[in-house]
A and B are shown apart, each in its own frame.
Chain A
Amino acid sequence: MKVVKGLWYSKDHEWVRLDGNKAYIGITDHAQLSLGDVVFVELPEMGTVLQADDVLGVVESVKAASDVYTPISGTVVEVNEELSAHPEKLNEDPYESWIAVLEPDDPSKIEELMDDAEYEKFCAEEA
Chain B
Amino acid sequence: MKRTPLYEKHRELGGKMIAFGGWELPVQYTGILEEHRQVRTAAGLFDVSHMGEILVRGKDSERFLQKMLTNNISGVKDHRVVYSPMCYPDGGVVDDLLVYKYSDREYFVVVNAGNTDKSFDWLRQNLEGETTIENVSSNYAQLALQGPKSGQILQKCTDFPIEEIQFFHFIPDTEICGKKAIVSKTGYTGEEGFEIYMKVEDATVVWDGLMLAGREEGLVPAGLGARDTLRFEAALPLYGQEISEDISPLEAGLEKFVKLGKEDFIGKDALLQQQNQGVKRKLTGFEMLDRGVPRSHYEVHANGKKIGFVTSGSFSPSLNKNLGLALLDVDYQKEGTTIDIIIRNKVLKAKTVKIPFYTKKYKA
Contact = CB atoms under 8 A, between A and B. Distances in A.
Nearest to A37: B33
A40 to B, nearest CB: 5
B285 interface: no
A39 B315 contact: yes
B295 A62 contact: no
Interface in A56-100: 58, 60-65, 84
A65 B315 CA distance: 12
Contacts of A107: none
Contacts, number: 41
Given A36-B32, A40-B291, A62 B315 contact: yes
B35 to A, nearest CB: 10
Contacts of A63: 27, 32, 225, 228
A36 B291 CA distance: 20
B31 A36 contact: yes
Interface in B2-42: 16, 27-28, 31-34
Interface string B284-323: 0000000111010000000000000000001101000010
A37 B31 contact: yes
B344 interface: yes
B31 A40 contact: no
Q: How large is the interface on A (under 10, 10 to 19, 20 to 34, 35 or more residues)?
A: 10 to 19
Given A60-B293, A62-B229, A63-B225, A40 B27 contact: no
B293 A65 contact: yes
Contacts of B16: 36
Interface in B210-242: 225, 228-229
A37 B295 CA distance: 16
A22 B128 CA distance: 75
Contacts of B31: 36-37
Contact of B292 (A37, A40, A61): A40
Contact of B293 (A36, A37, A40, A84): A40
Given A62-B225, A84-B291, A36 B322 contact: no
A112 B293 CA distance: 35
Nearest to B32: A62
Nearest to B292: A40
B295 A65 contact: yes
B27 to A, nearest CB: 7
B83 to A, nearest CB: 26
B315 A40 contact: yes
Given A58-B344, A62-B225, A63-B225, A40 B33 contact: no
Interface string B127-161: 00000000000000000000000000000000000
6 contacts: A36-B32, A37-B31, A61-B32, A62-B225, A62-B229, A63-B32
